[in-house]
Amino acid sequence: MDIYDSLFDAVRSEYDTITLIKKSERGEVSLVRHRDSGIRYIFKHIYGESEVYRKLLSVSCQNLPQIMEVGEKDGRTVILEEYVTGDTLGEILQGGLLTNAEAKQICRQLCAALWVLHSMGVVHRDVKPDNVIIRGKDAVLIDFDASRIYKNANNEDTKILGTTGFAAPEQYGLSQSDGRADIYALGVLLNIMLTGEHPSRKLAAGRMGRIVQRCTMVNPEKRYKNILHLMEAL
């Protein structure tokens, strides 16, 4: 029996489904609980390749969820990953804007998460408030369903994925997205934390606004060269 079948069977026989979190044409995401240990996990059954999730199996980072098991078969992938407890950044922002210090801390932690991903050639491509969970003092970047591996031979992304307002222009087929697409989204996110608005409507004041501007340049060449340069600026 391969990993796909064994993981699928284990989840059905050893876990209880607490709730269906998301269901779409791309698959299902559920919150499950192991019957013996009581530990909760995220279980995903999605259509598509498992390459990104398999790369994350070996990663341990406090700003990324731990990927426990991955199986792939006939174009479908099953994933068991850590359930990160806490409020999403989107939920927190419903209660009001953040201070410069708070926004800066969250951004630096997301930079740390993205540095790990980018070091493996992974582009997240969907950095947004609902994909950031605040666990205690840590910001955790979740949901790699839109993520992809950067491939030198490609001129553009094979699939157009991302969230309107956060997705960089190149994610709409203008060129292949790389780590600078995540820098663009992080700039939008920083601005929203400080102003509640997209930078095209209202730009954050002072130095933070200048950081946002550079992050969100239409031409990727004019953004920060990599995520470490952005982290330094912050």
- The reported pLDDT for the residue numbered 17 is 96
**What is the fold of 87-233?**
Transferase(Phosphotransferase); domain 1 (1.10.510)
- The reported pLDDT for the residue numbered 162 is 58
Is 2 annotated in the active site?
no
| Nearest-10 crossing angle of helices 206-215, 179-195 | 150
Confidence band, pLDDT 50/70/90 cuts, at residue 141 = very high
Contacts of 1 (CB under 8 A, 6+ apart): 9
How large is the average pLDDT for residues 202-206?
A: 97
Which residue in 16, 74, 87, 126 is the catalytic one? 126
- The reported pLDDT for the residue numbered 152 is 61
For residue range 90-126, what is the model confidence (pLDDT) as tens digits?
999 999 999 999 999 999 999 999 999 999 999 999 9
- Side-by-side strand order, sheet with 138-141: 87-88, 132-135, 138-141
* Domain boundaries of the chain, sorted by first residue: 3-82, 87-233
CATH superfamily, region 3-82: Phosphorylase Kinase; domain 1 (3.30.200.20)
- The reported pLDDT for the residue numbered 157 is 45
- The reported pLDDT for the residue numbered 160 is 45
Whether the pLDDT of residue 163 is over 50: the answer is: yes
Confidence band, pLDDT 50/70/90 cuts, at residue 233 = very high
The token pair that represents 207 in the structure block? 């130095």
The token pair that represents 103 in the structure block? 């926004």
**Alpha-carbon gap, residue 194 to 216, rounded angstroms:** 15
- Say which range, 6-10, 120-124, 194-198, has the weakest mean pLDDT: 6-10
Considering the entire predicted model, what is its pTM?
A: 0.90
How large is the average pLDDT for residues 187-207?
A: 97
For residue range 15-33, what is the model confidence (pLDDT) as tens digits?
999 999 999 888 999 999 9
